[in-house]
Structure 1
């Protein structure tokens, strides 16, 4: 057993850079796990900076200076935040408040429909099963009510955190955009001068994360806007709220679309029942999801690494369980990072192959 382990260590950790990469990965993992909450504003600023870096690069291609490009990108970001805070968030909050007020009536209607099941399908559903299900739902709703109450009592610290984010994150984004090259040069000075594996991994991941963040933001905006407009045209209640929820559901591939189908269908059913409007809603929602998965995603993520759906779902479950919402958001880039590390990891076999290749070139 020791011989096998020693051979494995000599194969995968014979290179000094491999040991350094492993140490950096372990330290980074521990820091994120232990200090994720403290570093949340910094992580948020880095994500937004990746997104706005595309705007800065485009402006610089048009002949705009670096400082002017950064200032214009920051003004676009600030204007978007003001627009969301003044117009979008109040409307979404109002619709969410109205939905909470109307939830008891919707539950009563649902309970009445469930009580009809034993009469219509006595061979499949019994009255005792329906009563047990209703009791379980009441218990769950009571727990949810306590959560909402505790949330309302804890609003002051949440508001303070929001204020900190609104002030601190834009400042960090501005300096990340302005001094990105200086910061990267400083970080590079702390690492060995010869680091081909790190350079390979960084080049691949820098491009992948930038494309993913910008593409995912555009996807959220388009899906949310189209969904809200379509729901509004159909006359569905809480159209803006449901549109925003559908937009954010794209953060969780496959699973998000399936989960969001439940509230969309439920609100449509309680509003229209088994009518043509309800089936039109399901049809339009299915078309939106189909266009998102088959047209929008391939256009936005054409340069992304192709991954099997099973690998994507596994990455969402693993990284979401480790880092919550951030892990879900970065599940695909983190899976790509793992793949890039595995492909670029130096082993004794690759070192021998490189030596043979260099010797053959010298002979030629």
Structure 2
């Protein structure tokens, strides 16, 4: 047993750069795990800096200074973000308020419909079963109402956190982009000199994360806009609210699309009933999801993501459980990091690992 472990250790850690990579990964994981709540604005700023680094580099290649390029790109990004937020938030707030007011009516309609099932299908459904289902639904609605009340009571702290994000994040993005090389050099001086594998993983992940964040933002905008336009043209209630939900659902591959299908289907069903209009809404929604999975995602992420769907779902569950929303958002880059580490390690040990797409 000792010899077996010794052979495994020599095979995987005989290269000093492998030990360096392992130490860097462990220290980074522990740091993020224990300080993620405090440093989340920093991580958000880093993600936005990755997104804006490409246009900054394009401007500097045209002859502009780094500071001027960063100022122009960050100002444009903040301006467009504020324009989108100020344009969408009032509409989303109004439609959300109307939707919450209509929920009791929708629940009453659902109860009435369920109570008719024992008469229509007595051999399949009994009145006791329907009564049990209605009780479960009522209990779940009460639970969700309590959660909503708790969230509203915490709204003051959420507003303070939002103000911190709106002020600190743009400032940090500016300095991350302007002093990018200085910051990298200051970090390198604390790292061991023999870090060949860490450098290999870093180069791969830099391009992967940049492509992923940029592609994910484009995907959210396209899917959200297409869904909103489709819902508006079909006369569906709350089109902007549902369109934004569909757009944000792409943050969680596979799982997000499954979850957001429920509100779209329920709103369409209670508005149109079992009619052709309901079928048109679900058909349009299905076409958008199909185009997203079979056309848009391959175009945007063909070079950024090469992971099996099971791997992606496991990554979403694992990192989402560790870091909540941001863990879900960065689940695919983190899974890609694991793959890059395994590939770099296999190069050292002589057994290359090539995961199936």
Q: CA deviation at 1:235?
A: 1.0
User: For residues 172-203 of structure 1, what are the alpha-carbon distances to aligned partners after superposition, in whole Å with 9 as ceiling and x for unaligned?
Assistant: 11111111111112212222334221111011
Q: CA deviation at 1:24?
A: 1.6
Structure 1 stretch displaced more, 2-11 or 198-207: 2-11
Counterpart mapping for 1:337-352 below 5 A: 337-345=337-345, 349-350=349-350
Show structure 1 runs of 5+ residues with no match: 352-364
State the match for 1:72 in structure 2: 72
User: For residues 110-133 of structure 1, what are the alpha-carbon distances to aligned partners after superposition, in whole Å with 9 as ceiling and x for unaligned?
Assistant: 111111111111121111111111
1-structure distance, mates of 2:272, 2:305:
43
Does 2:223 correspond to 1:250? no
2-structure distance, mates of 1:348, 1:165:
42
State the match for 1:130 in structure 2: 130
Q: Is the 8 A contact 2:305 2:332 kept in 1?
A: no
State the match for 1:36 in structure 2: 36
Q: Is the 8 A contact 1:45 1:170 kept in 2?
A: yes
1-structure distance, mates of 2:71, 2:98:
40
Q: CA deviation at 1:347?
A: 7.7
Q: Is the 8 A contact 2:49 2:176 kept in 1?
A: yes
1-structure distance, mates of 2:259, 2:347:
43
Counterpart mapping for 1:116-195 below 5 A: 116-195=116-195
CA separation of 1:169 and 1:229: change in aligned 2, threshold 3 A: same
State the match for 1:102 in structure 2: 102
1-structure distance, mates of 2:56, 2:164:
25
Structure 1 stretch displaced more, 192-201 or 179-188: 192-201
Structure 1 stretch displaced more, 316-325 or 256-265: 316-325
Structure 1 stretch displaced more, 326-335 or 132-141: 326-335
Structure 1 stretch displaced more, 51-60 or 153-162: 51-60
1-structure distance, mates of 2:149, 2:313:
33
Structure 1 stretch displaced more, 202-211 or 152-161: 152-161
2-structure distance, mates of 1:271, 1:332:
37
State the match for 1:302 in structure 2: 302
2-structure distance, mates of 1:173, 1:217:
17
Q: 1:307 aligns to what SS in structure 2?
A: coil
State the match for 2:83 in structure 1: 83
1-structure distance, mates of 2:199, 2:16:
15
Q: CA deviation at 1:245?
A: 0.3
State the match for 1:287 in structure 2: 287
User: For residues 265-302 of structure 1, what are the alpha-carbon distances to aligned partners after superposition, in whole Å with 9 as ceiling and x for unaligned?
Assistant: 10011111111111110111011111111111111112
2-structure distance, mates of 1:154, 1:194:
48
2-structure distance, mates of 1:214, 1:261:
25
Following TM superposition, where does structure 1 have runs of at least 4 consecutive aligned residues deviating by more than 6 angstroms?
Answer: none
State the match for 2:263 in structure 1: 263
Q: Is the 8 A contact 1:14 1:347 kept in 2?
A: no
State the match for 2:334 in structure 1: 334
Structure 1 stretch displaced more, 116-125 or 97-106: 116-125
2-structure distance, mates of 1:14, 1:348:
9
2-structure distance, mates of 1:99, 1:349:
58
1-structure distance, mates of 2:349, 2:198:
19
Structure 1 stretch displaced more, 159-168 or 14-23: 14-23
State the match for 1:21 in structure 2: 21
Structure 1 stretch displaced more, 50-59 or 234-243: 50-59
1-structure distance, mates of 2:159, 2:104:
28
Structure 1 stretch displaced more, 96-105 or 320-329: 320-329
Show structure 2 runs of 5+ residues with no match: 352-357
Aligned length: 351
Q: CA deviation at 1:349?
A: 4.3
Counterpart mapping for 1:207-218 below 5 A: 207-218=207-218
2-structure distance, mates of 1:274, 1:42:
49
Q: Is the 8 A contact 1:12 1:347 kept in 2?
A: no
State the match for 2:196 in structure 1: 196
State the match for 1:228 in structure 2: 228
Q: CA deviation at 1:137?
A: 0.8
1-structure distance, mates of 2:86, 2:347:
55
